[in-house]
Chain A
């Protein structure tokens, strides 16, 4: 390992220094010469017909430079859905146009129908108030069931509120039905996977510049994937040629999915910058973030688990309604389908799985992937119904899971939901969890809680998830409209330091530290001599960005491939310098040597030779030392884990406190354990938030009641415990060169059912016959459940 930490070292993060000293450069921290401000006029009704918009008064206001309405964007394209889903009857999903600015109708509170560009933000706000919009309010479609039954539509032109009716796997439907019909025991659970707002702490911000001299645009924007944003703007929305548009995602203050997507504000500031010939900046306030960032989850589900008399799983059958909101966000159709249905076999040898998902348009903000994206919904349904089943048949919940686990000798394992799991050992994870969480000591802790007047519960969960969605060939067949590879360029500079340009984007994940650890390990050099470049389409190769716990598994693999190419070429150069054959050159600790001799040259000497190629075999080797690789994985990676937690419930108030939370995960090989642990911590915080605190509430008129931190319950430090995180039980991924699995979402996937299972356990220990409480399990909900039990 290099002196400052290669693979496996908990190297502290180099990016921290700028964030800790206030010198990070987030989008809103930058101002351009001549910059103007954009402010949007947003609908205050959930559903309405735009009868007229009079902007003349606004245009005459001080400082106003331009006013746009939906009319200005009729000729440009819509913001597309990235994944085509076909319904069970073979019909393609409904894809109504998502315009830059609403035109004809507004479809959710916050839907932008006009925008003002002014010298200052306050002038723009003043002018927005002067826009006279005659919008006739229509009844709002908020609840999915009502929307499916309604005879009026979010999008009139499609004549339905159902986007698609998807079956997975349709050919397994009859066998699953039959297995359930003939089963010894069937456990049924109806549940809601609550709608969440991602709430990255940095609100979205987009700033556009237009250079008339060469017809070029630069967009600084809060994005997890600048190339994808550029592609969507270029190929679908504005038609700006890709070679004329640079998209830069600088320091980005968290994403959690919400900054994957292209949003209309990005297109608006670009169009406005060209029209007025000056830079245009828009920064969301938190209310706009609540109203317009893509939300997450929002499934209403019925799941059935069929078992034989011994508790062997025979079938899972799931019916889900998934809310897609008012418009299709870029991956909103993939999330409830291929990222959800394919995981519905869990960690189990169950032979029959069938999932039906109906996606529903409503007059609410668009819903898309949020940390976990489909897999939390799958895990929650499975692990809640299994827990309920264990109670119904009187079997210990850990034992019931173990009984049905896929065993280590069964890999690769073809799941009944269509995936091929490459590696894992779920019993070993459960063993480790029982050990580090001292599960054996629970009863004593329960008694201690009871002495204080509290009910204590223990909850357990086993999850598997799928990260780094791939390969492109397969996802293409399944409806994806993009490829899911990533890319890296390793540039060795003449003086021996390296710039590594990557397609993944780091907005908290620590790539600037972890990726150099990989390269340093391979080259045997100081990681401090390696810098990561990301986020700027003019500097980096075309990559698909960061989401779905893909960065290390996919982009990291591209880094490995590019570095391998560097090593191969460097060996040729070294062989020439040492007058030896390339096959005899060995690389160790940054030194190339001829095997069995003391002849050697350093990595730095080879680099210099590559750029000052005097006495260079130009006929065999090109000068320079720079290589690019694109990596398209053979399969997903399949992290898995065993989680448990203990809660206390105050029986007088219904308040739940999480007393302990243990996460034992199989992430395969780990590059930087400190960063991986931090990723799990963050996921746990969000997962506990979903289970106990967070909810997105629209009233019957489609008004968002939880539209600020005064009502949307963000987890705070005093809501959460210290966690116990363990990833000692890794089984290397078999198909990527690092043997790594995704770790970014695991905590958010594994924790919600763990917490709910623990609360149910606590209430039952108190003699209450409560079998389910929907998330978030607020004090009010827990108290109400206890009153009714």
Chain B
């Protein structure tokens, strides 16, 4: 690692101030950033650790909306249980030691194309809350590792409207244990949302054809005959684009069948 300083602000305001330095970078749980720093692939002058910001931690529920502080660990989301599909998803991110440190804000800010949380946020129609504004998930995820966040902007919370039914199915990439393909399905009064991670060069995205079919008939059978184009899907040593396309359909069906 290159040398850098670490600051540990106690409030969002302090964190924002610390991040105003253009060579400063936010540090969440560090489960992605620290390995990156070890490879000397990043050279911030200052890391602003968000783990000490108490106001960014915790989970609360009101009016059918679950609000999760950006600094809340996967472990805490897994233990919460008030949005079952989300807690189950969190319980399967990485491994227990990663879940002790990794945070929802860090994951969503990073927007790894194979990460789980982006699928939950997009699939649930969540709202990303920052120190400056609120961003609908549909507007937030721009592409692989790209988001609507500005420099120095911090995710302070994510608001999840709790759907009638939901489920996440992950087919793991067997080495990294990220999603080779992951599908989050949520059924709400307004219809069904299907978000796919791991599959696309564009990052997390919605499968609208499946949403339409499922909005009419929320059953795995409603997806019969629906296929996903392999165009622009990820192909790597763990699976071809065609295989990923196939898995999207399989995982979607399984998520619908398991939704509760």
Q: Do chains A and B touch in the complex (CB under 8 A)?
A: yes
- Indicate which residue in B39, B171, B176, B237 contacts A695 across the interface (CB closer than 8 Å): B237
Interface residue B165 (Cβ < 8 Å from any Cβ of A): no
Instruction: Please state if A711 and B246 are interface contacts (CB–CB under 8 Å).
Output: no
Chain B proximity mask over A134-158: 1 for CB below 8 Å, otherwise 0: 0000000000000000000000000
Q: Is B250 within 8 A of A653, CB to CB?
A: yes
In chain B, residues 206-260, which have Cβ atoms closer than 8 Å to a Cβ of chain A?
236-240, 243, 246-247, 250
Kindly identify, within residues 284 to 313 of chain A, every residue whose CB is under 8 Å from any CB belonging to chain B.
285, 287
Q: Give the contacting residue for A784; candidates B40, B171, B243; CB below 8 A.
A: B243
A207 to B231, CA, bound (A): 52
Please name all residues of chain A whose beta carbon is closer than 8 Å to the beta carbon of B3 when the two chains form the complex.
Answer: 122
Residue contact B246 to A783, C-beta cutoff 8 Å: yes
Partner of B237, one of A129, A652, A655, A706: A706
B40 in contact with A653 (CB, 8 Å): no
Interface residue? A697 (CB, 8 A): yes
Interface size class of A (residues with CB under 8 A): 20 to 34
Complex contacts, A125 vs chain B, CB 8 Å? 40
Structural contact, B175 and A710, CB atoms closer than 8 A: yes
Is A442 among interface residues, defined by CB-CB distance under 8 A?
A: no
Which residue in A129, A287, A714, A779 is a CB contact (below 8 Å) of B175?
Answer: A714
Q: Is the CB of B238 within 8 A of A653?
A: no
Contact A710 to B176, CB < 8 A, known contacts A705-B237, A780-B240: yes
Which residues of A have CB within 8 Å of B236?
Answer: 705
B63 interface contact, C-beta 8 A:
no
* A783 CA / B247 CA spacing, docked (Å): 10
Interface size on B, residues (CB 8 A): 18
Partner of A122, one of B1, B175, B176, B243: B1
Grouping DSSP codes into helix (H, G, I), strand (E, B) and loop, the A interface class, with mixed when no group exceeds half, is: loop
Give the distance in Å from the alpha carbon of A560 to the alpha carbon of B171 in the complex.
Answer: 54
From 26 to 40 in chain B, residues with beta carbon under 8 angstroms from any chain A beta carbon are 38-40
Complex formed: what's the CA distance from A778 to B238 in Å?
Answer: 8
Interface centre among A125, A712, A778, A780 (most CB of B within 10 A): A780
Contact of A780 among B1, B38, B39, B243 (CB under 8 A): B243
Q: Which of A743-789 contact B (CB under 8 A)?
A: 778-780, 783-784
Task: Name the distance in Å between B183's Cβ and chain A's nearest Cβ.
Answer: 13
- Tell me, yes or no, whether A713 is within 8 Å of chain B by CB: yes
Asked if A132 CB lies within 8 Å of chain B CBs, one says: no
Given contacts A122-B3, A780-B243, A784-B243, are A653 and B171 in contact (CB under 8 A)?
A: yes
Contacts of B247 in A (CB 8 A): 653
- Chain B 1-36 interface 0/1 with A at a Cβ cutoff of 8 Å (1 = within): 101000000000000000000000000000000000
Instruction: Give residues of chain A (221-264) contacting chain B, Cβ–Cβ below 8 Å.
Output: none
Which residues of the other chain, B, contact A655 by a CB distance below 8 angstroms? Answer: 171
Give the distance to chain B from A512, nearest Cβ to Cβ, in Å. 31
Is A709 at the interface (CB under 8 A from chain B)?
yes
Q: Say yes or no: is A693 at the interface (Cβ < 8 Å to chain B).
A: yes
Q: Which residues of B contact A709 (CB under 8 A)?
A: 175-176
Do A713 and B246 have beta carbons less than 8 Å apart? no
Our pick among B1, B176, B250 for the contact of A711 (Cβ within 8 Å) is: B176
- Contact pick for A783, options B40, B176, B243, CB 8 Å: B243
- Known A653-B247, A653-B250, A783-B243; contact A697-B40, beta-carbon cutoff 8 A: no
Q: Residue on B with the closest CB to A652?
A: B250
- Given known A125-B40, A711-B176, contact A697–B237 (CB-CB < 8 A): yes
A443 CB, min distance to chain B CBs, angstroms? 28
- Chain B residue with Cβ nearest A708: B175
A719 at the interface (CB under 8 A from B): yes
A697, B239: Cα distance in complex, Å: 13
**A459→B246 CA distance, assembly (Å):** 28
Tell me the residues in window 88-133 of chain B with beta carbons closer than 8 Å to chain A beta carbons. none
Q: Which residues of A contact B39 (CB under 8 A)?
A: 287
Within 8 A of B (CB), among A690-739: 693, 695, 697, 705-706, 709-714, 719
- Nearest Cβ distance between residue A315 and chain B, in whole angstroms? 37
Taking CB atoms, residues of chain B closer than 8 Å to A122 are 1, 3
Which residues of A have CB within 8 Å of B246? 783
Taking the closest CB of chain B, its distance from the CB of A569, in whole angstroms, is 56
> Which residues does chain B contribute within 8 Å of A712, judged by CB atoms?
175
Which one of B3, B237, B240 has the greatest number of beta carbons of chain A within 10 Å? B237
Contact in complex: B174, A780 (CB < 8 Å): no
Complex-state Cα separation, A287 to B176, whole angstroms: 15
CB under 8 Å from chain B, chain A span 101-148: 122, 125, 129
Q: How far is the CB of A359 from chain B (nearest CB, A)?
A: 26
Complex contacts, A714 vs chain B, CB 8 Å: 175
Contact residues in A for B176 (Cβ distance below 8 Å): 709-711
Residue of B nearest to A287 (CB): B39
Q: Smallest distance from the beta carbon of A413 to chain B beta carbons, Å?
A: 42
Contact assessment for A780 and B238 in the assembled complex, using a CB-CB cutoff below 8 Å: yes
Minimal Cβ-Cβ distance residue in B for A697: B237
- A455 → chain B, closest Cβ, in Å? 16
Cβ of B3 to closest chain A Cβ, rounded Å: 7
Docked Cα-Cα span, A712 to B238, in Å, equals 10
Residues from chain B with a CB closer than 8 A to the CB of A693 are 174
Which A640-694 residues have a C-beta within 8 angstroms of B? 652-653, 655, 693
Residues of B within 8 A of A (CB): 1, 3, 38-40, 171, 174-176, 236-240, 243, 246-247, 250
A-B residue pairs in contact (CB < 8 Å), sample of 21? A122-B1, A122-B3, A125-B40, A653-B247, A653-B250, A655-B171, A697-B237, A705-B237, A706-B175, A709-B176, A710-B176, A711-B237, A711-B238, A712-B175, A713-B175, A719-B174, A778-B174, A778-B239, A780-B239, A780-B243, A784-B243
Name the 5 nearest CB pairs between A and B, nearest first.
Answer: A780-B239, A713-B175, A710-B176, A713-B174, A780-B243
Given contacts A653-B171, A705-B236, A706-B237, 14 further A-B contacts (CB under 8 A): A122-B3, A125-B40, A653-B247, A693-B174, A705-B237, A711-B175, A711-B237, A711-B238, A712-B175, A719-B174, A778-B174, A778-B238, A780-B243, A784-B243
